[in-house]
């Protein structure tokens, strides 16, 4: 069953079982709490920004494999990036998940994050993959209240 | 009550014949035959319900209670007959006790808003249970906030039953109503209506039973139950969406102010004062879901023809089969073990989030619900953010239960890689 393998790729399973940066950084300049009201999944994303650069990033909470792997891989992709590049990556990731599968997969600077393209076959799961990213954006925008993917 | 009845070994249902009555059961999803196990969410529709709605629109449609012409008269008569059918179905004393609403949610909102507005004051208490659906929590919360009243909650035991001893202690002189889910939509627990009603009646407290999950599994007789309000939705009874029922004793409904104002619910309107229509029209403002009402009556006829004893016996056989199969998957944890349960159960899978399981099962053609099932407080009570819920109906088979069990084993396998 190829759809199953396309969705739950090895790298996604690996990150969901062993999430990277699953912690609160020592210094935190931005944080936000995100929640998917459909399933109750919830993450807090912590960022330490110094001179316009994401010096450290981590997350805590619980979610499904897609949400957890996405959060984990997001933190790996963003550490050391400039805020500008981080925001650009958010846009690319968002575009990846909202581009219809038959139109193709946007390349851009996504790198490993392209493994999430399989999620597009399951529209109700797109919110799982974007939960951590929306939470990150809220943190960087310094939105005070919890974000929701609804 | 149905337990005793079914002890007389009712005739077994011809499930293959029943399945042919439901056209959707012939389709496949994701290239697999559909295994529909989300019946607590909503049930599928037999051809007779679909035809009833369709025939009404193609051959008999007109608005009711308005026209002097024949078509409108015929539609009105059909609507009135449907109300009589529902009244007989739940054991109401009169069709005037049957109010058509959009569903269980609207019915509880109607009671909370209309009855609550006139019966709740500062310091008063509304007693609900820890396994209420959000529709049995939020409407009461809203009116409590408005009226300065508060909610009290009967706790749920580890076995997924209501703690009746604790319930006794929660009644106070300020308890104005007991509003309880009759059958849990998440755990399948059949709550002891008789004991709860007796407890409330001893203190002169009226009782609302949420029968949304009762109605497709058990026969209901409101007189026997002894409650004051009983509410349910058509779409969980193989009927259309957007139609539901509020039953309440006539004298209670009579004393309640209207819920919504508009056409159909009035007697005389002037700019100075309006007098209201008699029951049940006082609570049916505007043009109602006429086609849905006729469809609901058709669904009731369908279920009655099958017979609740036979339905319950079939579902009990399936549930026993399912529970036995699940016990062979070590990663499965079924939430609660109530003594009396309909074919609804929530489970978690070690190492697999319910949403991931839901997607993997979907790829096998199996439809279950994964999430919080609109019972977030109950999920919190059992320390889980979400569960996988399988819920059975009369058209399900043992082979479908086996498909679910195999699917769950596959979920475990995928995440063991």
pLDDT tens digits, B51-100: 999 999 999 999 998 789 999 999 999 999 999 999 999 999 999 999 99
pTM of the model: 0.93
pLDDT (average), residues A28-33: 95
Q: What would the two tokens of residue B149 be?
A: 């009243």
Closest CA to A74 of A52, A97, A51: A97
Are B378 and B386 within 8 A, CB to CB? no
Residue of B nearest to A38 (CA): B371
pLDDT tens digits, B151-208: 999 999 999 999 999 999 999 999 999 999 999 999 999 999 999 999 999 999 999 9
Fold adopted by B50-304: 3.40.640
| The CATH number of domain B2-42+307-416, selected from 3.40.50.150, 1.10.3210.10, 3.30.70.20, 3.90.1150.10 | 3.90.1150.10
Least confident of B5-14, B123-132, B201-210, B228-237: B5-14
Q: Check whether B2 has a pLDDT greater than 50.
A: no
**Which pLDDT does position B8 carry in this prediction?**
53
> Is B374 tagged catalytic?
yes
**Interface contact flag, A39 B415, Cβ < 8 Å:** no
Is some CB atom of chain B closer than 8 A to the CB atom of A28? no
Helices A126-140 and A65-78, packing angle to 10 deg: 40
Neighbours of B159 (CB within 10 A): 13
Task: Give CA B280 to chain center in angstroms.
Answer: 21
DSSP string, B357-384: HHHHHHHTTEE-EEE-TT-HHHHHHTT-
ipTM of the complex, rounded to two decimals: 0.89
Give the number of A-B residue pairs with CB atoms closer than 8 Å.
50
Decide: helix, strand or coil at residue B189.
strand
pLDDT tens digits, B26-49: 999 999 999 999 999 999 999 999
**Which pLDDT does position A148 carry in this prediction?**
56
**Interface contact flag, B385 A10, Cβ < 8 Å:** no
DSSP string, B254-267: HHSPPSS-SSSSEE
A2-140: CATH number: 3.90.1010.10
User: Within 13 Å and on the Cβ side, how many CA atoms surround B154?
Assistant: 30
Is some CB atom of chain B closer than 8 A to the CB atom of A91? no
pLDDT tens digits, B202-260: 999 999 999 999 999 999 999 999 999 999 999 999 999 999 999 999 999 999 999 99
pLDDT band at B417, cuts 50/70/90?
confident
Closest CA to B84 of B245, B252, B253: B245
pLDDT band at A149, cuts 50/70/90?
low
**Interface contact flag, A128 B355, Cβ < 8 Å:** yes
Distance CA B352, CA B408 (A): 10
Q: How many residues does chain B have?
A: 417
Tokens 């109530």 — which residue?
B338
DSSP string, A16-43: HHS-TT-S--SS-SEEEEEEETTTTEEE
Q: Check whether A2 has a pLDDT greater than 90.
A: no
Are A74 and A131 within 8 A, CB to CB? no
CATH 3.90.1150.10 segments of chain B: 2-42+307-416
Closest CA to B377 of B192, B138, B174, B146: B138
Are B286 and B44 within 8 A, CB to CB? no
Are B361 and B34 within 8 A, CB to CB? no
Q: Check whether A16 has a pLDDT greater than 90.
A: yes
Distance CA B193, CA B213 (A): 13
Q: What would the two tokens of residue A125 be?
A: 């799961």
**Which pLDDT does position A136 carry in this prediction?**
96
Name the maximum alpha-carbon separation found in chain A: 47
Residue to substitute from B356, B376, B410, B412, interface A, most A β-carbons within 10 A = B356
**Which pLDDT does position A108 carry in this prediction?**
83
Q: Where are the domains of chain A?
A: 2-140
Phi, psi for A13 (deg, rounded to 5) = -60, -40
pLDDT band at B3, cuts 50/70/90?
very low
């Amino acid at each position: 069953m190829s759809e199953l393998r396309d969705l739950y790729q090895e790298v996604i399973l690996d990150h969901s079982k062993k999430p990277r940066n699953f912690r609160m950084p020592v210094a935190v300049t931005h944080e936000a709490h995100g929640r998917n009201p459909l399933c109750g999944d919830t993450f807090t994303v912590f960022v330490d920004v110094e001179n316009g650069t994401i010096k450290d990033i981590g997350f805590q909470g619980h979610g499904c494999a897609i949400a957890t792997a996405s959060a984990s891989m997001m933190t790996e992709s963003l550490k050391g990036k400039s805020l500008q590049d981080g925001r650009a990556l958010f846009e690319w990731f968002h575009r990846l998940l909202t581009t219809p599968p038959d139109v193709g997969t946007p390349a851009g600077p996504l790198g490993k994050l392209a493994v999430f393209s399989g999620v597009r076959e399951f529209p109700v799961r797109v919110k799982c993959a974007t939960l951590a990213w929306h939470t990150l954006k809220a943190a960087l925008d310094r939105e005070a209240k919890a974000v929701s993917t609804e | 009550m149905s337990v005793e009845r079914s002890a007389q070994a009712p005739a077994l249902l011809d499930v293959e014949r029943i399945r042919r009555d439901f056209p959707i059961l012939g389709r496949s999803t994701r290239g697999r035959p559909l295994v529909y196990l989300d019946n607590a969410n909503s049930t599928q529709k037999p051809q007779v319900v679909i035809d009833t709605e369709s025939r009404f629109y193609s051959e008999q449609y007109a608005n009711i209670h308005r026209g002097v012409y024949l078509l409108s008269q015929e539609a009105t008569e059909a609507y009135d007959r449907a109300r009589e059918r529902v009244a007989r179905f739940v054991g109401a004393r009169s069709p005037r006790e049957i109010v058509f609403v959009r569903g269980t949610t609207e019915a509880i909102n109607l009671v909370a808003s209309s009855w609550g507005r006139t019966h709740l004051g500062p310091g008063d208490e509304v007693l609900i249970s820890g396994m209420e659906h959000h529709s049995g929590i939020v409407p009461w919360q809203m009116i409590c906030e408005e009226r300065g009243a508060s909610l009290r909650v009967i706790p749920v035991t580890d076995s997924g039953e209501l703690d009746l001893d604790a319930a006794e202690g929660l009644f106070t002189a300020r308890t104005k109503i007991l509003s309880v889910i009759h059958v849990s939509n998440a755990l399948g627990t059949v709550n002891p209506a008789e004991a709860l009603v007796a407890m409330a009646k001893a203190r002169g407290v009226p009782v609302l039973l949420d029968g949304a999950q009762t109605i497709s599994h058990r026969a209901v007789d409101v007189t026997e139950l002894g409650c004051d309000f009983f509410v349910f939705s058509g779409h969980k009874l193989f009927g259309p969406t957007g139609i539901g029922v509020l039953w309440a004793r006539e004298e209670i409904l009579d004393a309640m102010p209207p819920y919504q104002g508009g056409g159909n619910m009035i007697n005389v309107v002037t700019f100075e004062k309006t007098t209201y229509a008699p029951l049940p029209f006082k609570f049916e403002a505007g043009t109602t879901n006429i086609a849905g009402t006729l469809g609901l009556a058709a669904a009731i006829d369908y279920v009655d023809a099958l017979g609740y004893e036979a339905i319950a016996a079939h579902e009990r056989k399936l549930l026993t089969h399912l529970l036995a199969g699940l016990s062979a998957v070590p990663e499965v944890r079924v939430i609660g073990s109530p003594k009396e349960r309909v074919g609804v159960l929530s489970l978690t899978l070690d190492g697999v989030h319910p949403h991931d399981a839901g997607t993997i099962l979907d790829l096998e053609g199996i439809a279950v619900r994964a999430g919080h099932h609109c019972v977030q407080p109950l999920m919190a009570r059992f320390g889980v953010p979400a569960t996988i819920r399988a819920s059975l109906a009369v058209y399900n088979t043992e082979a479908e239960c086996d498909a679910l069990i195999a699917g769950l084993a596959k979920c475990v396998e995928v995440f063991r890689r």
